[in-house]
Structure 1
Amino acid sequence: MTHEKAIQFLQTLIQAPTVAANEDQVVAAIVAQLQPELDAGLIHLKRLPFAPGRTTLVLSTGDAKATRVLAFDGHADVVSAGDEANWTYPPFAAEIHDGELYGRGATDMKAGLAAAVLAFQAAAHEPLKIQLRLFVTVGEEIDNYGARQIAAAGLADDVTDLLVAEPTAGHIATAERGIIDYTVTAQGKAAHSSRPELGANAIHGLLAYFQVAMAATAPLTARVDPLLGQATHNVDLIAGGNQINSIPEAAHYRGNIRSTPTASNEDFIAAMQGAVAAVAVPGVTITFQPDSVLAAVSTDSDNALVSAIQAARATIGETPLPVQAETGITDAAVLYHPEMALTIVGPGNETSHQTDEHVNVAEYLSYIALYRTLMTQN
């Protein structure tokens, strides 16, 4: 495939506004790209419907009897572009300026997904001694919906090597933090603001819980894991009350914790639940609810897949990449099992989820070559 067509394919994916929905627009583009190989029986496709307009794909090629199964993973959804007026270039136009392709999902992670698709297409024409799979998932940005489908169907159970094509800004990751998304709810009693003694202020209760919970988790976020560093704890959404002259009867906030083996999900949940009992605001009931919980994942930094990636880079004339941990969450949190060699490596930079997200075009093209070499140097 020419560079021009490879770039056009990525632009097509970015121009599909798959903001937590409608991933089938990307799926349709991928299937259309691979249709000649599908028709020839070189690639096999399995669809896992999740919701209307949202389908996870599992593509396979190579030797179906081989014991080594190398899987690539990429998600088709993106986060909101926010206020589009703040973007220098429209977030779903996929414009190229000075060698950078701009758009929501350019870095996270349609460049990695497109590179994996095109490398997979090319590899399907080679005499492979291994099995190759490509997972195209939905809903990764919310709760790894597509990866959960794949795991539930057992389609990752025999995977020996997993490469998640998320952007890693010039390094290879072999570990990532865990996550807890949670909701804290305060239930009180409404009253006129001139007679607060007749009610129970839910916001006061929520703020009191916040202070206790942050103090309770501070020792955990202070711990330093030798590989993943410090855990983090942030409150990102808050709501409560109806109008200025009424005592609020309900309020809630949602928080996000990024855990490590040294400060585990279990540690944080115990601290957050303990804070509930420590808050005493008359008439207000506090509830802590974990919404999504995924454990930290960690593998050897010199595993076989890391070595294969470095060898593939040498083959295409690229220098070795440093190996380190990843602070974000990927589909690996759901797909990983202990017998698997794991890496997270892909084109992109630190503009994920930011205004003016972009990816370097030359880097994107280099990853097509890297992934193809990795798939075929067996």
Structure 2
Amino acid sequence: MTLVELTRDLVSIPSHEDGAAAGDFLESWLRRETDADVTRDAVGNVIARKGTGPETLALVGHHDVVEPAASQVANADGNVDEASEYVVDERDGRLYGRGAADMKGALAAALLAFRDADPAGELVVASFVGEEVGGVGARYAIDDGFAPEYAVVGEGSTNYSGPNVTDVAVAHKGRRGSTITARGTAAHASEADAGENAIYRATAAVDRVRELEVPSVDVAGESIAGRLTVTEIEGGSAMNVVPARCVVTVDERTVPGDRAALEQVADLDGVEWTVDQDLPPMRCDDDAFAETVLEVADGVQAADPELVTKPHATDAGWLSRAGTDCVIYGPSEPGEAHTDDESVSIAVLERCRETYRRLAERWPLTR
């Protein structure tokens, strides 16, 4: 089976609501094509291991995708049917289809590299569920004991430093989404002083958010800065009623090692702050590992890859927080994932497959 064939097979399997069919395919393929120890856990993660050694290298991906566009799903007659297979199209050296870039193409490359490599240490390939909804599979696996010392996560790192180059990302931002709830006392607007205006309290909290300093950190010659953005506001019940409740949402982009002091808004009268989602950032703290991956990546492409950073959270954040040294190396390009015409370069898929294989063949690293 070629890389294109395997990618096409994976991309065609619907997995935006239920990853079971994709997980069945992965488990069956690994059992048929390798002699590895293959497991399928309670949430649907598929993990295969081969080799032994004091340190483990994991090739990590996910097989869930975001909901496809209507044009990306069709039945055999060409009619739109969201229960049918996803459409996969090959043209101009690229594969088009939901999940081709994010990230079944990279997963296919990792599977073939895992099958073909003969490492001296332990090599793992892992495909998680639920990455698109907050890292459900990665968190379950970590809680269940998944703890490789090193990991290459196949999210996008192509065309970051320049065109036609697949870089090695050594850090990315996280995302913390939170809600500020301001409570007051309702009153008729003609007697506004009889109440306590929740919107006024909420706007005081927004002012506090705007005053907060956001941290930054230097990684790989870049300065990664956090960001706070008020994204939604809702409150009030009528034009002539002093509002008793107002809710504000905040999107925060976090950086490795620090975050803004958003908890300070809760010091204001009548204001509560709750965290709804907290996707951790990632930074690789093992320079030797990052440099080795960069050296291998440099050997499989004409361009000169660099150590770079990513703006988006990935499962590498959960692994990094649990103690795994991670880098990101994959075929997806900026702006390609989640689009109605999502695609991936076949040449870059081959590049990633060869990088994963060569890195696995060098495992464990000589330090």
Band the TM-score falls in, shorter-chain normalisation = 0.7 to 0.9
Instruction: Output aligned runs, 1:171-186, within 5 Å.
Output: 171-186=167-182
Matched, 1:71 2:58: yes
Give the distance between the partners of 1:180 and 1:3, measured in 2 at CA.
36
The equivalent position to 2:309 in structure 1, one of 321, 325, 331, is 325
Once the two structures are overlaid, the 10-residue window that deviates more, 110-119 or 237-246, is 237-246
Question: Is the 8 Å Cα contact of residues 96 and 102 (structure 1) preserved in structure 2?
Answer: yes
Matched, 1:147 2:132: no
Matched, 1:164 2:186: no
The equivalent position to 2:289 in structure 1, one of 285, 297, 304, is 304
The equivalent position to 2:214 in structure 1, one of 212, 220, 237, is 220
Question: Is the 8 Å Cα contact of residues 7 and 361 (structure 1) preserved in structure 2?
Answer: no
Deviation at 1:244, TM superposition (A): 6.2
TM-score, normalising length from structure 1? 0.77
Give the distance between the partners of 1:192 and 1:97, measured in 2 at CA.
65
**Partner residue of 2:161?**
none
Matched, 1:362 2:355: no
Instruction: Output aligned runs, 1:170-249, within 5 Å.
Output: 170-190=166-186, 200-215=196-211, 217=212, 219-220=213-214, 223=216, 225=218, 227-241=222-236, 248-249=243-244
The SS at the match of 1:336 is helix
Superposed CA deviations along residues 227-282 of structure 1, whole A, max 9, x for unmatched, are: 442111223444445566765543323322222257x13xx2xx3222332x45xx
Amino acid at match of 1:45: V
Superposed CA deviations along residues 299-346 of structure 1, whole A, max 9, x for unmatched, are: 3574235314523652x4554411122222222222226975421110
Amino acid at match of 1:186: A
Give the distance between the partners of 1:259 and 1:297, measured in 2 at CA.
10
The SS at the match of 1:129 is coil
Amino acid at match of 2:263: Q
Give the distance between the partners of 1:148 and 1:139, measured in 2 at CA.
9
**Partner residue of 2:263?**
273
**Partner residue of 1:256?**
251
Deviation at 1:163, TM superposition (A): 0.6
Amino acid at match of 1:6: L
**Partner residue of 1:23?**
19
Amino acid at match of 1:163: V
Deviation at 1:85, TM superposition (A): 6.8
Cα distance, 1:139–1:253 mapped onto 2, change above 3 Å: farther
Give the distance between the partners of 1:149 and 1:101, measured in 2 at CA.
31
List alignment gaps of at least 5 residues for structure 1.
none
Deviation at 1:289, TM superposition (A): 1.1
State the identity as a percent.
Answer: 27
Matched, 1:49 2:42: yes
Cα RMSD for the two superposed structures: 3.3
Give the distance between the partners of 1:338 and 1:153, measured in 2 at CA.
12
Give the distance between the partners of 1:122 and 1:198, measured in 2 at CA.
75
TM-score, normalising length from structure 2? 0.79
List alignment gaps of at least 5 residues for structure 2.
75-79, 159-165
Give the distance between the partners of 2:190 and 2:209, measured in 1 at CA.
30
Cα distance, 1:72–1:289 mapped onto 2, change above 3 Å: same
